[in-house]
Structure 1
Amino acid sequence: MKWCLVFLVALLSLAAHGAWIDPTGKAIPDTESMRSAGDFGVQIVLTADEDRFRQAWNTSKTPPRLSTTNTVRLGAAVSALLIFHGCAPDAEGVCDVVVEFVLEDADGKKTPAGGGPVWIGKPMQQRFLQLGQASMSVGFDKTDPVGDYKITANVKDRVSGRSLSVVSRLKVTK
């Protein structure tokens, strides 16, 4: 099922100096897919079309309509993307945030699923969210078991030393 991530767009007014907050400034409790540690926060989202998601994120001047999903059929693929705020800059003003992804299949088997830089560069100006550079894509063929999968992103801000793990659940169907 695809749904528009209006909730995420509402978070664009987030203050980078605190935990996740709603547009009225009220703190939003952490969930398994959205966590924070001090001023550093990460959210994982799944999409069936990474290119379209990134294009909507990067080109929209108004709140973008971001297509996300939590289900995929055998024969299709999904991508896991990270949205974050509050990375700590080093002495040169550059953030260094990295991720390692893990895929847990319907049988509970965990498989390393790649990783890389979420963000290496100047931090976004305060009160804005940033779409991470790294992503993980996974396709499912007829030999894969149907059922409930989990994608975990272990994210580390190498400058501040803060680490967060976020999880997105995925239903694989026939």
Structure 2
Amino acid sequence: MNRRLLTVFIAMSLSWSSVHAGYWKDSNGNPSPDTESRRSVGEFGGLLLITSDPDWEKKWNTSPETIPVFNEAKIVTQGKRIFTLIFFANPELDANHEANITCDLKIIRPDGTESINQRDTVCFQGRLKGKPNNLYLAAPVIDFIGEPGDPTGIWTVDITLKDNLHKVVMPLKTAFTLK
């Protein structure tokens, strides 16, 4: 995906009130279809993004009016770092206005073996700082660097995002190629 298209995608996906009535909306309010890496279940939304930006955190930690632009990483060379970011929006809140989101994390090597397989990892627990339908970054950020001896080919990232209060389970999937 070229940079211009990625900017449009991020602007669509990171619209600060983009999840409503069970679908993602673009900046004009038009529905955007679900993909493997961006979907909604009911009003709960999830997004999975792999970026090569070493400054992803600085880009994310801006005012809600600023839409960050991330460079999507689809091809990675050995020795280069990438970061898998998990986003969510509009979780169910309890009586104390707190969310409870966990996720299963799995990375599958090109040979079919698992590099990571963690279940029920805390993604977010507690009070949201802002409106529930804002986009939030989940706690786990997967930092990957291709090392000598790592198999080349397609690595698959499978994340199952779980809104435990609303009993919603959302599978998200993306991939990158290690060369």
TM-score range, shorter chain: 0.7 to 0.9
Give the match for residue 53 of structure 1: 56
CA RMSD of aligned residues (A): 2.2
Residue 160 and residue 167 in structure 1: after superposition, are their counterparts in 2 closer, same or farther (change >3 A)? Answer: same
Residue 109 and residue 171 in structure 1: after superposition, are their counterparts in 2 closer, same or farther (change >3 A)? Answer: same
Per-residue deviation, 1:131: 1.7
Give the match for residue 86 of structure 1: 90
Give the match for residue 156 of structure 2: 150
Give the match for residue 119 of structure 1: 124
Q: C-alpha separation between the residues in 1 aligned to 2:2 and 2:147? A: 20
Give the match for residue 146 of structure 2: 140
Per-residue deviation, 1:29: 1.2
Q: C-alpha separation between the residues in 2 aligned to 1:59 and 1:33? A: 23
2:39 to 35, 42, 46: 35
Give the unaligned 5+ runs of structure 1: none
AA in 2 matched with 1:34: R
Query: Does residue 67 in structure 1 map to residue 45 in structure 2?
Result: no
Q: TM-score, normalised by structure 2?
A: 0.85
Q: C-alpha separation between the residues in 2 aligned to 1:155 and 1:74? A: 29
Give the match for residue 8 of structure 1: 10
Q: TM-score, normalised by structure 1?
A: 0.87
AA in 1 matched with 2:80: A
Query: Match of 1:56, SS?
Result: helix
Query: Does residue 104 in structure 1 map to residue 122 in structure 2?
Result: no
When the two structures are aligned, how many residues end up with a matched partner?
172
Per-residue deviation, 1:87: 0.6
Query: Match of 1:9, SS?
Result: helix
Per-residue deviation, 1:111: 3.9
User: Matched residues, percent identical?
Assistant: 24
Give the match for residue 24 of structure 2: 20
Per-residue deviation, 1:53: 1.0
Give the match for residue 131 of structure 1: 137
Q: C-alpha separation between the residues in 2 aligned to 1:112 and 1:118? A: 16
Give the unaligned 5+ runs of structure 2: none
Per-residue deviation, 1:32: 0.7
For residues 26-50 of structure 1, the C-alpha deviation after alignment (integer angstroms, 9 at most, x for no partner) is 2211111112100011110012245
Contact 2:105 2:116 in 1 (8 A): yes
Contact 1:113 1:136 in 2 (8 A): no
